[in-house]
Amino acid sequence: GAVVSQHPSRVICKSGTSVKIECRSLDFQATTMFWYRQFPKQSLMLMATSNEGSKATYEQGVEKDKFLINHASLTLSTLTVTSAHPEDSSFYICSVPGLAPWFGEQFFGPGTRLTVL
C-alpha cells in the first residue's frame, strides 16, 4: 500500500497566525487526497477532498476560506489553517485512496497535532 507522510507532526502557534500542514504520498501518485479532523475521543470527520490540479471539494460546514487546500502535484497536498484560533486546535490527518478506491480503502498519514494558544 501507499506510504503517506505528514509534516509537521506537531505545531504550536499563536492565535491569528497561519499554519501549513503538508501531506506527501511517498511511493504512490495520488490524484486525490483526503483531509480529516479528529477531536479527542471523537471519530475522524472528513473535511475536504483534495484534487490534483483543481479545486478541493469541501464537506458541508467546513469553511473553505479558513482551511485552504492546495494539491499542486501528484505527491503533495497542503492544508493551511488561516488565522488560527484555539477552537482550531485538533488532530489533522490526511489519506490517500488505494488502487481500488471504490472499495473505500485508504492509506493514512500519521497526523499533525495543532495547538493554537
Partner 1 sequence: GDSVTQMEGPVTLSEEAFLTINCTYTATGYPSLFWYVQYPGEGLQLLLKATKADDKGSNKGFEATYRKETTSFHLEKGSVQVSDSAVYFCALSGYGGSQGNLIFGKGTKLSVKP
Site residues (CB under 8 A) for partner 1?
1, 4, 6, 32, 34, 41-44, 46, 49, 93, 95, 97-98, 101-111
Query: What region does 83 belong to: left with phi over 0, alpha with psi -120 to 50, or beta?
Result: left
How far from 67 is each of 18, 35, 45, 78, 109, CA to CA, in Å?
10, 10, 14, 10, 18
> Shortest gap between Cβ of 108 and partner 1 (angstroms)?
4
What is the nearest approach in angstroms of partner 1 to the Cβ of residue 64? 18
Q: Closest separation between CB of residue 46 and partner 1, Å?
A: 6
Nearer to partner 1, 59 or 63 (CB): 59
* Omega cis (within 30) before 8: yes
Q: How far is the CB of 93 from partner 1 (least distance, A)?
A: 7
Task: Output the CA angle 17-6-13, nearest 5 degrees.
Answer: 20
Which CB atom, from 57 or from 70, has the smaller least distance to partner 1?
57
Least Cα distance to 21 among 86, 108, 105, 91 occurs for 91
CB nearer partner 1, residue 57 or residue 82: 57
